[in-house]
Amino acid sequence: MNKNDILRRIRYIFDLSDAEMISVFGQADYEVSRGQVSDWLKKDDDPACKKCTDTELAIFLNGFINHKRGKREGSQPEPEQILDNNVILKKLKIAVNFKAEDMIRVLSLAGLQISKHELSAFFRKPGHKHYRECKNQMLRNFLKGLQLELRPGEDESEDPWGNLR
């Protein structure tokens, strides 16, 4: 999944303003300008759109965890250089403080039925025999379910980014 698209969806789902987006990056001890945030949030076909790197999204997600749950004592985690959907899903799960049942409920809101065992496979280490790669569709469904839970009653056509089609 496109990192900019993930950033746009998270912003929309949690109704974050530009100032809050900047603050989230600041929670991970990373300074960004309003212009950078604006360029990352532009539609992909906009010539001014700048590509959000894996590291920048990892910094945002680390800051989002701090924003939602409070900053932990001591040193902050180093942002990943390469970010896959499994790590993104795990960081979102941590940020919103979800248990397996919560994740299953949110995925079912998006029309995806999954068992606890299938879900746990996404959070295993890549070398584990039960590890399962989180595909784009799974992450997309989780974000859609989060939107349906946190912004109920809003028509999908109201999404300014057109992400849910």
pLDDT per residue over 26-41, tens digit each? Answer: 999 999 999 999 999 9
- Segment 124-141 shows an average pLDDT of 95
Residue 39, both tokens: 């360029």
Confidence bin at 66 (pLDDT 50/70/90): very high
Which pLDDT value is given to residue 156? 52
The answer to which of 60-64, 115-119, 161-165 has the lowest mean pLDDT is 161-165
Which pLDDT value is given to residue 161? 46
Which pLDDT value is given to residue 41? 95
Which pLDDT value is given to residue 154? 67
The number of residues in the chain equals 165
> pTM to 2 decimals?
0.89
Per DSSP, the three-state class of 15 is coil
| CA 2 from centroid of its chain's CA atoms | 11
Residue 75, both tokens: 């040193």
How far apart are alpha carbons 28 and 6 in whole angstroms?
Answer: 18
Task: Indicate whether 12 pLDDT > 90.
Answer: yes
Task: Indicate whether 81 pLDDT > 80.
Answer: yes
How far CA 107 is from CA of 54, 101, 152, 154, in Å, comes to 24, 10, 15, 18
Q: Hunting for tokens 């530009």 — which residue is that?
A: 18
Which pLDDT value is given to residue 152? 83
| Residue 36 burial class via C-beta count within 10 angstroms: exposed 0-12, middle 13-18, buried 19 and up | middle
Task: Indicate whether 43 pLDDT > 90.
Answer: yes
Instruction: For 135-164, give the DSSP string.
Output: -HHHHHHHHHHHHHHHSTT--GGG-TT-TT
Which pLDDT value is given to residue 72? 83
Mean pLDDT across the chain: 91
Which pairs with CB-CB distance under 8 Å and at least 24 residues apart come from 127-130? none
- Segment 101-130 shows an average pLDDT of 96
How many other CB atoms sit within 10 Å of the CB of residue 129?
A: 6
Report domain extents, the chain.
3-158
